[in-house]
């Protein structure tokens, strides 16, 4: 097991054993912001040498992928899970969007194993944040007209994670040599900060595990099955787009991940009647640990196999 991932396991164990691990107030948000800025900067720096006209076509395909994922999740939740329209739409939005932390773990493992991947993936992370939120709301509300325009401005245009990653990517791309001054902090410390972040995620995931007793077997099954469906679909998309083995793995992992930061905030604002605990338990209590421990290594191995 990679040392970075081991910190996640440590967090879960601490929580399950009842150890009082005190995380400083606000540190979680600081670490989260660091990861988003670091991912954006790194992508912007690398993008200087790798941008071309095919990137636009790839971006359209990735957006279409983001629109498709909640449309796959919704009927599974609605008809097999017997969830009402609002909760099915809310959960589907979580599984159509992405987890920046899962992506960060994948990048750390790829780099630890010297596996190359395309430089422009931070752009795809940003593009996949938005479509699922809109599709999930349309599915939950039944009409695009019922979605508040102020919500679209606040949660989609002025969303913190989107702005931080897009802004950092642009700074990395246009900053020239001056950006290199930031590398000792944002690039070289990336794995250490990610380890602390995963320790906190392990503590939170451990808390969510207790909620599984109150949820049906279907929720657990869905939270494992949907990442595999999204991951296999992402693998196919990465292969069709001609990505490297590392790129195929990242596309799969983006498809397999579920949001537990941006989408919960958006759903709380626009769908307050939805059961937020159900979505968080599935995304953070089941899917995130599954991906960190099993999904990410599996899709990296699958990407390497397809490349070979």
pLDDT in tens, 124-158: 888 887 788 888 888 887 765 555 656 565 555 65
Instruction: In whole angstroms, give the CA distance from residue 288 to residue 253.
Output: 11
What pLDDT is recorded for position 155?
Answer: 56
Q: Which of 103, 121, 104, 110 is nearest to 50 (CA)?
A: 121
Both tokens of 226, joined, read: 């949907």
**Sequence-separated (6 or more) residues with CB below 8 Å from residue 186:** 34, 37, 38, 41, 42
Predicted pLDDT of residue 47 = 73
Position 256 scores a pLDDT of: 95
- Enumerate residues 6+ apart whose C-beta is below 8 A from 178: none
User: Rounded to two decimals, what is the model's pTM?
Assistant: 0.82
What stretches of the chain show up as alpha helix (H) in DSSP?
A: 3-16, 27-50, 54-75, 85-96, 100-112, 121-127, 131-141, 149-151, 160-174, 183-186, 190-209, 217-240, 245-256, 262-270, 276-280, 288-290, 296-307
Q: What are phi and psi of 99, to 5 degrees?
A: -110, 115
How many of the other CB atoms lie within 10 Å of CB of 60? 11
Note the pLDDT tens digit of each residue in 92-128: 999 988 888 899 899 989 988 999 998 888 888 888 8
Q: Please identify which residue in the block is written with the tokens 């049906």.
A: 216
Positions in the chain short of pLDDT 70 = 1-2, 49-50, 143-161, 176, 208-215, 265, 269
Q: Cα(161)–Cα(155) distance, rounded to whole angstroms?
A: 10
Report the length, in residues, of the chain: 308
Q: What integer pLDDT is reported at residue 246 of this predicted model? A: 93
């Amino acid at each position: 097991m990679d040392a970075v991932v081991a910190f996640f396991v440590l967090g879960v164990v601490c929580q399950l054993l009842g150890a009082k691990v005190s995380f400083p107030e606000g540190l979680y948000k600081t670490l989260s912001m660091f990861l988003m800025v670091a991912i954006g900067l790194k992508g912007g720096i690398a993008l200087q040498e790798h941008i071309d006209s095919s990137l636009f076509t790839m971006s359209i395909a990735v957006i279409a992928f983001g629109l498709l994922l909640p449309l796959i999740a919704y009927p599974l939740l609605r008809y097999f899970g017997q969830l009402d329209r609002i909760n099915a739409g809310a959960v589907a939005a979580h599984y159509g969007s992405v987890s920046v932390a899962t992506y960060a773990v994948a990048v750390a493992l790829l780099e630890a194993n010297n596996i190359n991947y395309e430089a422009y993936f931070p752009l795809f992370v940003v593009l996949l944040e938005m479509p699922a939120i809109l599709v999930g709301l349309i599915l939950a509300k039944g009409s695009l007209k019922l979605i508040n325009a102020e919500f679209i401005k606040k949660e989609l245009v002025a969303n913190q994670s989107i702005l931080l990653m897009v802004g950092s990517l642009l700074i990395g791309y246009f900053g020239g040599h001056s950006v290199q001054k930031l590398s000792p902090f944002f690039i070289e410390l990336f794995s250490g900060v990610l380890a602390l972040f995963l320790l906190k995620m392990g503590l939170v995931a451990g808390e969510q595990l207790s909620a599984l007793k109150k949820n049906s077997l279907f929720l657990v099954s869905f939270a494992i099955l949907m990442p595999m469906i999204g991951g296999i679909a992402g693998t196919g998309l990465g292969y069709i787009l001609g990505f490297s083995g590392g790129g195929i793995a990242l596309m799969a992992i983006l498809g397999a991940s579920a949001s537990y930061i941006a989408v919960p905030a958006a759903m709380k604002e626009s769908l307050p009647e939805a059961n937020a605990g159900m979505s968080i338990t599935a995304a953070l209590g089941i899917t995130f640990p599954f991906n960190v421990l099993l999904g990410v290594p599996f899709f990296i191995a699958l990407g390497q196999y397809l490349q070979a």
